[in-house]
Amino acid sequence: MVVLISGTGSNMSALMEAAKDPAYGAEIVAVGTDREGTRGIQVAEAAGVPTFVVPFRAFAERSEWDAAMSDRIAEYTPDLVVSAGFMRILGPAVVGRHQAVNIHPALLPSFPGAHAVRDALAHGVRVTGTTIHFLDEGIDSGPIIDQVAVPVEDGDDEAGLHERIKVVERRMLVDTVGRLAREGWTIDGRHVRFGRTDTKEIR
């Protein structure tokens, strides 16, 4: 798999840790980002994982950036792209060419977009959580694979609630990607099932 990140990369680190066990069934072949100098890229480099940067700001048009990102991903011929804290919308050049999953810190379809935790708090929900879904060409709108709920506590602020979400998110991400790798998957409209007959190792 190719993992895409924009920041700290704690979810990427969780995947990297899980992938050390050959029985996990998935291997990270590269980590990519849309911006220079992210913490997560430094962590990946230190672990000897190939990395690449496709800076969003270096392109005049979003479509050009999207095409460049798609080509860089393709160099590693991954079976799966994992958007794990990647803060740009991936367009048709990526989504039309690569199978990709995304994690989102809310119970979709509630609170899509870049400020999911803030938006959930502002709305006054008592329960939020995290979602892993396949990417389509919309914003956080693709078929849902799994979700885990996280209660909102009185007095929660954005940072504290997000940290609690990230604890369950990392577990969900590692579990789900491992199952996709080991069991394969079938997408039927909005419904995702694990398992297929021609399961192969994700690389």
Residues in the site for ligand GAR, rule: CB under 6 A? 5, 7-11, 40, 84-85, 87, 103-105, 114, 116, 166, 169
Cα of first residue to Cα of last residue in the chain, in angstroms, is 5
User: Is 104 designated active site?
Assistant: yes
Compare residues 9 and 78 and give the one whose CB is closer to ligand GAR.
9
Write the DSSP string, 166-200. HHHHHHHHHHHHHHHHHH-EEEETTEEEE--TT--
Q: Write down the catalytic residue from 104, 123, 133, 191.
A: 104
Q: From residue 140, give the alpha-carbon distance in Å to each of 41, 55, 69.
A: 24, 22, 19
For residues 28 and 24, give the distance between their C-alpha atoms in angstroms, rounded to a whole number: 11
Q: Which residue is nearest to ligand GAR, using beta carbons?
A: 85
- Closest distance of CB 196 from ligand GAR, Å: 27
- Tell the residue number behind the tokens 């694990």, with chain if given: 194
**In the complex with ligand GAR, which residue's Cβ is closer, 42 or 186?**
42
Closer to ligand GAR by CB, 20 or 197: give it. 20
Give the active site residues.
Answer: 104
